[in-house]
Structure 1
Amino acid sequence: MQEISKGANVSLTALSEDAGAVVVSLSWSSASGAGDADVSVLLVDANGKVRSEDDFYFYNNPAAADGSVQLLGKTPTGNGDEDRIGVDLTAVPEGVERIVVAASQYGGARFGDLDDLRMTVADRSGEPLVGFSIHDAGVETAFIFGELYRRGEEWKFRAVGQGYETGLAGLATDFGIAVNEEAEEAGEPGAAGDGADTDASAVVAMDKAPDAEPEPVAPAPIPASAPAPAPIPASAPAPAPAPAEPVAVPAQTRGRGPRTTTTKKKVTLPRAAKSSLAENDSWRPARLFPVPTLKSDKEREVRATSVLLSVMAQVPEFGRRLTAAFGAPAGRMQTFTEVSLPHGDTPRRPDGVIRVERAGKLWTALLETKTNGNPLKPEQVQEYMDIAARRGYEAVITLSNDVALEGAPMVDVKIDGRRKHKVSLWHLSWAEVAHQAQMLIHHEGVGNAAHAWLLQELLEYLRHDQSGCHGFQNMGAAWVPVRKGIEDETLASDDPRAVEVVESWERLIRQVCLRLGGELGQKALPVQRVRRGSDQRARRAAAAERLCLDGRLTAELRIDGTSSVIAVTADLRTGKVRTCVDVPAPEGSYPLTTVKRLVRLLAEAPADLHVETLVEAGNGPRGTLERLRPEPGDLLPKGGAAPTGFRLSLIKGMGSTRGNAESGFIRSVDEAVSRFHQGVVAHLGPVEARAGRRG
């Protein structure tokens, strides 16, 4: 990978023969784990302006209709977050000269608060081509990281590194988007009253040039009884075009309200099911993809593969969502099962094949599927990698209930470096498939109601007990001996089985984030407080040593758009799962007013919630919410010290088995996080907004 400095440029075509589609990545880290930014992309013409509202892509408008741009979302890294964007350069309209890649912050945050600001560009196969790091960030609230631009028949990349103290509004204005200041002010948290939930999206309108040719507007129908309109003389000036519809973009300070946009209308399904007409609970609704007849793992794999691939081909948004992360272009997709491919004396049959056609070119991926707890076989995946390399296919995708971890490949395969054609190996979890379907049909929307119904049927299939597609559901063979060794205090600090348990714990937390994010319609990501470039194996070995010493598994997760970090601790010695969050006290408010307000906000929280007051030195008062509700003043520190914040905790019994059954450890952790968020964190929006505004 070539490193370039600010202001430098490089030809992507010169760096790779496969640069017709690229994946742009923006990454950063934060010492506190709470730093975050929103990515946006602008397509600009030769005049340096967007042509219309459709040339601006952000979290509420994440994909271009022609497939040229798609925001692929955040993924956690060993040191922070990475936000990826798929760009199909062959599909970019001719009128677009530059593709500007930017990011913005909110809630008073500055880019100087983040570390390791970096942009990389990779080719279609995932091979990094060029990287650019920003070292001079300070008070800026928006940053142009870089841009892709045309030079004749080729595309080049320029490292920009330009910051804006005026946030996304200032950046958008530079590219022809006029911000409605009144709407932005109205979106400020607290503008509608103290503690009110607000939508902090600023409404903007396109700033068209005076001589720009107006878009054709269809005439309104005229009732039969209405008089005919008077003819317009040839010399009369043309009527003024109707004002453009506004598009919603994020303001710099976001409240807790929903993110909305008027650019596109999508179909979503209601979360509450309609009342049933069945006589009793034994009547089961007919399903498009029946499951109860499945008897063997082979039947489950064949059925699950066929169901998934058929829905991917019929619902473009869903198929594109799953394949874009693997470097596939946007285009016409067809999927196949039980395809026979030659391999030595015996043909091989991958579980599925995905083909995408774009501008006469084909992108092909082989799919290897596993259901239940069946592991992937390295020798089988190796054969598919060899077949794909010989036949010129682009990717091999493995799909199972397991969750991939950074720095820990699902299967080890050998790549023949002498082959000119590169084949990428990717992994997908059934939990990720269900997450993407849920995001589309309940939050982001799809093109029509039939597509939404298809995705709902797919979700029902995946959730059925017989499907075998339930995501990560087994802590592994090392779980029972490690847990028993901790209880008996006989586990050695260097026992390699502890590392296996730590890896299983990380997979579980990633899956909890997927489920929680699907429910909320927002990204939920694990927080890892490590330095850039840290060795993941060494980090897990250190976590395993701590597990052997104190018997605890710990993790932190954060929901996009909030600063709260939810800490999860599984204490294997006591058999308890603790979930907690620290809430900062608003500056400048009276302590008694603060504690009373906190107790009011937690009116619907569980009575067994533990509340502890945080002070500068020593321990503050603590108690259960049940005891504190009649006497909130008991939370005030002795001696008149001002509270710096509050720690809210829930404690739940831990499952005894390694699996996902009713008594299983995995289910107990998932339910603990869900109960804590629904019962506690979801009510803390006003506190978070006030603390962030003053902080």
Structure 2
Amino acid sequence: MREMTKGANVGLADLSDDAGSVVVGLSWSSTAGDGDADVSVLLLDGNGKVRGDADFFYYNNPAAADGSVQLLGKTPTDSGSEDRIGLDLTAVPEDVERLVVAASRYGGSRFGELDDLRMTVADRSGEALLGFSITDASVESAFIFGELYRRGTEWKYRAIGQGYETGLAGLATDFGIDVDDEGEAEGATNGEEAAGATDTDLPAAERPEAPVPPSAPAVPAQQTREAQETRPAAPAAPKRARGPRTAKKKVTLPAVATKSLAENDAWRAARLFPASNLKSDKEREVRATSVLLSVMAQVPEFGRRLTAAFGAPAGRMQTFTEVSLPHGETPKRPDGVIRVERAGKLWTALVETKTNGNALRTEQVQNYMDIAARRGYEAVITLSNDVALEGSPLVEVKTDGRRKHKVALRHLSWAEVAHQAQMLIRHEGVGNAAHAWLLQELLHYLQHENSGCHGFQNMGPSWVPVRNGIDEETLSQGDPRAVEVVESWERLIRQVCLRLGGELGQKALPVQRTQRGSTALSRRAALADRLCEEGRLAAELRVDGSPGTITIVADLRTGKLRTSVEIPVPEGAYPLTSAKRLMRQLAEAPADLHVETLVEGQSGPRGTLERLRPEPGDVLPRDGSRITGFRLSLFKGMGATRGNAESGFIRSVDNAVDRFHSHVIAHLAQADRRTTRRAPATEPAPDPATEAATDRTPVRT
């Protein structure tokens, strides 16, 4: 991989023979675990401007109709998260000369608060071609990481690393986007907030400073002033149509299902993909492969979403099952084949499917890798219940370095397939009603108990021995079985995030708190040693719209699951008022919810919601110590079995997170939104003395 320095450039063809389609990754990390940013791509013409607002791709416009740009979403990594962007350079219109890749933060956050800012570019096979790290970020709220630009028939990359203090709106405006930045982050000036204006609506002297876009010629200030003085007054411009909004698009959950016309509950609706008669693993694999591949071919948005991250171009897709391909003396039959045609060229991937928790077989996948290499195919895609982790491949295959043609080995989990289907039909939308119905039928099939496509459902062979070792206090640090349990726990948490994010239509990612320079193996080894010592597995989830990070702890010694969130108290707020406000927010929360007061980072008084509702003052420290927040927790017994039965550990984790989010987090977020809508823009800070005088609720001592 070529490491780039700021301002350097390189031709993609010099790094790979197959760079017509690339995947760009933007990554960062945060020791606090709460760092996040949004990516964007701008298509620029020869003048360094967009041709129109449709050339601006961001969270409200994630994909180009021609498939040249597709924001693939966030993927958890061992050091934080990575945003991936699929770029089909062969599909970029001829009048587009540059593709600018940028990222922006919101809510007053700055890039200087993040670590390890980095951009990578990988070719169609997944091999990393180049990397560029930004080390001088400080107060910027938007950054241009790099650009891909044409030089004749060749595409080149330039490392830029240029920041903006004016956020996504300022960056987009400089490239010709007329931004409606209503609701943009607090980084805007007071004048902008009052008038709802963008930077270009302000007088030149009042505009916040922003860097000149790359490749734009620098114009001396004196020359600019002379040109303005001699320029005749322009006639009033007609009112422009509203441009793209950089405020986040709100999504709503689907409406209640239409009432059934069945005479009684025993009747079952006819399904396009029946699963009730499936009996053997072979039947499940054949049916699942055929169902998925057929829907991918018929619903372009869905097929493109699943294959873009694997380097497939945007084009006409056809899918096949049970194809016989020669291999030595005995032909091999992969479960499926995907072919995409664009401009007379074919992209082909072999598909190997496993269902019902069955593991992928190394020998089988190796055969398909060899077949793909000999026949010039681009990828082998494995599909199973397991979730892939960095540094822990599901199968180990060997590649012949003497072969010029490279084959990518990619993995999909059934949980990822269901997540993408949910996002399209419940939150983002598809082309027509027939496509939505097909995806709904696919989702129903994947969730059917007989399909075998429920996702990760087995904690592995080391789970029972590790639990027994913790109970008997015979498990020692360094035990490799503990590492296997930690990996299974990480897969489970990632699957929980996929399912929760698909249901909510929000980003849901596991939080990784890692030290700089640590590897996946060292991090998991440290967690395994902690498991041996403390007997607990812990994870954190970050869900957009939630008031805090959700923590889940599985205590294997007590057999209890604890889900919790910490709610900070505003600086200067009167303690009793904060306690009462919390009780109002939790009016519909379960009575067994535990409320714990945090005093300067330590635990304070605690009690259940049932006991604290009539006496909110009981949660305050008796010595008058300053409180910093409250920790809200729900406890649940965890299952003992390894599988997906109702009493299983995996099912109990799913249920615990669902219950906590729907009964606690959702009420807190809803209360925050109501408070935000009611609060005036210039509300004065509360006076503790006045509140103390008017608040007559006694505080127990």
TM-score normalised to the size of structure 1?
A: 0.88
Listed one character per residue, the Cα deviations across residues 472-523 of structure 1 (whole Å, up to 9, x for unaligned) are: 1111222122212211222233332222211111111111111110111112
Structure 2 residue runs without a partner (length 5+): 188-195, 202-236, 686-701
Asked if the contact 1:34–1:564 (Cα under 8 Å) also holds between the matched residues in 2, the reply is no
Match of 2:299 among 304, 315, 320: 315
How many pairs align?
A: 635
- Report what 2:613 is aligned to: 629
Which residue does 2:567 correspond to in 1? 583
The alignment status of 1:491 with 2:475, answered yes or no, reads yes
Q: Is the 8 A contact 1:100 1:147 kept in 2?
A: yes
Residue matched to 2:690: none
Alignment of 1:215-230 (within 5 A): none
Q: What is the CA–CA distance in structure 1 between the aligned matches of 2:179 and 2:287, rounded to whole Å?
A: 51
Q: Name the SS for the 1:573 alignment partner.
A: coil
Among 404, 429, 449, the alignment partner of 1:420 is 404
Structure 1 residues 484 and 339: alpha-carbon distance in aligned structure 2, compared to 1, 3 A threshold = same
Deviation at 1:271, TM superposition (A): 4.7
The one-letter code of the counterpart of 1:372 is: N
1:528 aligns with 2:519: no
One-letter code aligned to 1:286: A
Do the aligned residues in 2 keep the contact of 1:204 with 1:246 (CA within 8 Å)? no
Deviation track 1:223-267 (CA, whole Å, cap 9, x = no partner) reads xxxxxxxxxxxxxxxxx98843532223xxx7xxx537xxxxxxx
Closer, same or farther: CA 452–188 of 1 in aligned 2, 3 Å: farther
Identity of aligned residues (%): 76
1:197-276 equivalences under 5 Å are 243-250=240-247, 258-259=249-250, 270-276=254-260
3-state SS of paired residue (1:303): helix
Task: Tell me the residue number matched to 1:500.
Answer: 484
Structure 2 residue aligned with 1:340: 324
Q: Confirm or deny: 8 A CA contact 1:60 1:259 kept in the other structure.
A: no
Say whether 1:566 aligns with 2:558: no
Residue number in structure 1 paired with 2:262: 278
Give 1:601 deviation, angstroms. Answer: 1.0
Report the equivalent of 2:604: 620
Q: Which amino acid aligns with 1:90?
A: T
Q: Select 1:547's aligned residue among 520, 531, 534.
A: 531
Q: Does 1:328 align with 2:325?
A: no
Rounded Cα–Cα distance in structure 1 between residues aligned with 2:465 and 2:317: 47
Superposed displacement of residue 688, structure 1: 7.0
| CA distance 1:502–1:617, shift in 2 (3 Å) | closer
2:117 aligned partner, one-letter code: L
One-letter amino acid of the counterpart of residue 65, structure 2:
A
What pairs with 1:3-402 in structure 2 (closer than 5 Å)?
Answer: 3-180=3-180, 183-184=182-183, 243-250=240-247, 258-259=249-250, 270-402=254-386
- Alpha-carbon distance, 1:188 to partner: 7.3
- C-alpha distance in 2 between matches for 1:400 and 1:184: 42
Question: How many Å separate the matches in 1 of 2:53 and 2:579?
Answer: 45
8 Å contact from structure 2 (residues 471, 557) kept in 1 = yes
CA distance in 2, matches of 1:180, 1:492: 59
Q: Is the 8 A contact 1:204 1:249 kept in 2?
A: no
Question: Aligned with 1:117: secondary structure?
Answer: strand
Q: Tell me, yes or no, if the aligned pair for 2:547 and 2:668 is still in contact at 8 Å.
A: no
Partners of 1:643 and 1:327 in 2: CA distance: 52
Structure 1 contact 52–206 (Cα < 8 Å) conserved = no
Give the match's secondary structure for 2:382: strand
For 1:511 and 1:141, how far apart are their aligned partners in 2?
31
Query: SS state of the match for residue 623, structure 2?
Result: helix
Q: Distance in 2 between matches of 1:494 and 1:33?
A: 26
Q: How far has the Cα of 1:178 moved from its partner? A: 2.8
Using a 3 Å threshold, how does the CA distance of structure 1 residues 483 and 335 change in structure 2: closer, same or farther?
Answer: same
**What is the CA–CA distance in structure 1 between the aligned matches of 2:361 and 2:645, rounded to whole Å?**
26
Q: Structure 1 residue 281: deviation in Å?
A: 1.5
Three-state SS of the structure 1 residue aligned to 2:523 is helix
Report the counterpart of residue 458 of structure 1 in structure 2: 442
Check conservation: 1:659, 1:666, Cα contact below 8 A: yes
Q: Is the 1:595–1:633 Cα contact (8 Å) retained in structure 2?
A: yes
* 1:432 aligned partner: 416
SS in 2 for 1:336: strand
Counterparts of 1:205 and 1:300, CA distance in 2:
57
Change (3 A) 1:578 1:331: same
Q: Is the 8 A contact 2:546 2:666 kept in 1?
A: no
Aligned residues of 1:180 and 1:204 also touching (Cα < 8 A): yes
Displacement of 1:293 in angstroms is 1.8
Cα separation, 2, equivalents of 1:626 and 1:347: 67
Quote how far apart the aligned CAs of 1:683 are.
2.5
Is the Cα–Cα contact under 8 Å of residues 119 and 145 in structure 2 kept in the other structure?
yes
Partners of 2:538 and 2:2 lie apart in 1 by 38
The correspondence of residues 457-476 of structure 1 with structure 2, limited to 5 A, is: 457-476=441-460
Contact conserved, 1:586 with 1:687, CA < 8 A, in 2? no
Conserved 8 A contact 1:622-1:635: yes
SS in 2 for 1:249: coil
Greater alpha carbon shift after TM alignment, 537-546 vs 517-526: 537-546
- Alignment partner, residue 538 of structure 1: 522
Once residues 275 and 616 of structure 1 are traced to their aligned partners in structure 2, the CA distance between those partners, rounded to angstroms, is 53
List per-residue Cα deviations over 1:333-384 (Å, max 9, x = no partner). 0000011101011110000000011111111000000110211110000000
Whether the 8 Å CA contact 1:38–1:104 is kept in 2: the answer is: yes
In structure 2, C-alpha distance between the alignment counterparts of 1:532 and 1:349, rounded to whole Å: 45
Q: Is the 8 A contact 1:206 1:246 kept in 2?
A: no
Do the aligned residues in 2 keep the contact of 1:339 with 1:350 (CA within 8 Å)? yes
Contact 2:178 2:244 in 1 (8 A): no
Looking at structure 2, the residues matched to 533 and 419 of structure 1 have their Cα atoms a distance apart, in angstroms, of: 33
Find the aligned partners of 1:511 and 1:17 in 2 and give their Cα distance: 35
Whichever residue aligns with residue 112 of structure 1, its letter is G
One-letter amino acid of the structure 2 residue matched with residue 436 of structure 1: Q
One-letter amino acid of the counterpart of residue 293, structure 1: N
1:409 aligns with 2:409: no
The superposition leaves residues 583-621 of structure 1 with CA deviations (integer Å, 9 ceiling, x where unpaired) of: 111123222222211211111111111111111165321
Q: Is the 8 A contact 2:180 2:244 kept in 1?
A: no
Q: Is the 8 A contact 1:365 1:394 kept in 2?
A: yes
Residues in 1 aligned to 2:601 and 2:134: alpha-carbon distance in whole angstroms? 37
Residues of 2 paired with 1:242 and 1:36: CA distance? 35
| Residue of structure 2 aligned with 1:662, choices 646, 670, 679 | 646
Instruction: Report SS of the residue matched to 2:604.
Output: coil
Report how far residue 531 of structure 1 moved: 2.8
**Equivalent position amino acid for 2:490 in 1:** E
Partners of 2:433 and 2:566 lie apart in 1 by 42
Native 8 Å contact 2:547 2:665 kept in 1 = no
Q: CA deviation at 1:296?
A: 1.1
Tell whether the 8 Å contact from 2:29 to 2:35 is kept in structure 1 after alignment: yes
User: What amino acid does structure 2 have at the position aligned with 1:172?
Assistant: A
- Per the alignment, residue 225 of structure 1 pairs with none
- 2: CA distance, partners of 1:637 / 1:540: 38
- Mapping for residues 656-695 of structure 1, pairs under 5 Å: 656-685=640-669
The amino acid that maps onto 1:307 is V
- Partners of 1:367 and 1:203 in 2: how far apart? 51
Q: 1:639 aligns with which of 599, 615, 623?
A: 623
Any conservation in 2 of the 1:269–1:441 contact (CA below 8 Å)?
no
> Which amino acid in 2 is paired with 1:259?
K
SS of equivalent residue, structure 2 residue 156: strand
Residues 559 and 74 from structure 1, CA distance in 2 versus in 1: closer, same or farther, beyond 3 angstroms?
same
Tell me the CA shift for residue 49 of structure 1. Answer: 1.5
